[in-house]
Amino acid sequence: STEEQIKQSILDISYDFDKPIWDNISEECKDLISQMIVEESQRITPKKALHHPWFKKFLFKKKKMLGADSSHIEKIENFKDSNHLKKAILTFLSAKASDEDIKEEIELFNNYDTNNDGYITKKELKKGMTKLHNFTNDDIEKFMESMDTDKNGAINFNEFISATLNNKISTDYSRIVKAFEFFDLDNDGQIDKKELQEALTGKSFEMIDMQIFEGVIDECDKDRD
């Protein structure tokens, strides 16, 4: 059989890189194979093989990829510790961002949303996050509570994008100015409690949880005016 022929070719050290199947294989990979399929006395050791250019190139790519995948974890942690107003501003910025601006965040959301229903459940969040970090159930609960701003038990698209928004958007001065102008309804250069209430909910003052808005004012209004 073909498998037996391959085994015998390896034992006989009989191979070449002339066939079309090798056309897209890198020279580094071919060199490593050449050092592995030789007489035992000449064979590269496992330790040296791991330091071969092909392995270094592969491991670097993998490390870089994992770094990109896990970088959003830090953003989620920062979002968890942010005050209410900052979360509101991030929500505004994410809502105004184009799909091109947040294409990486969209891909991340789709990776977590394994059943493609438009929501990330606690189970899906735990499954995705524990692949990258050793988070406890308590950690996952805190992340859920932080991102699930409408408290419906799942993280929707807008909530996730707000928490993982890339720095290019979240630190863009012109975008932040527009966000401030959105909250500053009377254009007086200040944001008061009523403006926050109207901008964030659009509901009447009596229907708003006073504790939420008192918390925002306590966090942001340092001079108590």
pLDDT confidence of residue 219: 61
Average pLDDT taken over every residue of the chain: 78
In which residue are the tokens 């009523």 written?
Answer: 194
How far from 24 is each of 27, 49, 169, CA to CA, in Å?
A: 9, 21, 39
How far from 194 is each of 179, 198, 202, CA to CA, in Å?
A: 16, 6, 10
pLDDT confidence of residue 203: 42
pLDDT confidence of residue 19: 83
Dist CA 155 CA 158 (whole Å): 8
pLDDT confidence of residue 204: 36
pLDDT confidence of residue 218: 64
pLDDT confidence of residue 120: 94
Dist CA 117 CA 221 (whole Å): 39
Per-residue confidence in pLDDT tens, the chain, 225 aa: 477 777 777 777 777 888 888 888 888 888 998 998 888 888 898 878 877 888 766 554 444 433 445 678 888 888 888 777 777 778 788 888 888 888 888 888 888 888 888 899 999 999 888 877 778 889 899 889 888 877 889 999 988 998 888 877 888 888 888 888 887 888 888 877 777 767 666 543 343 344 445 556 566 555 555
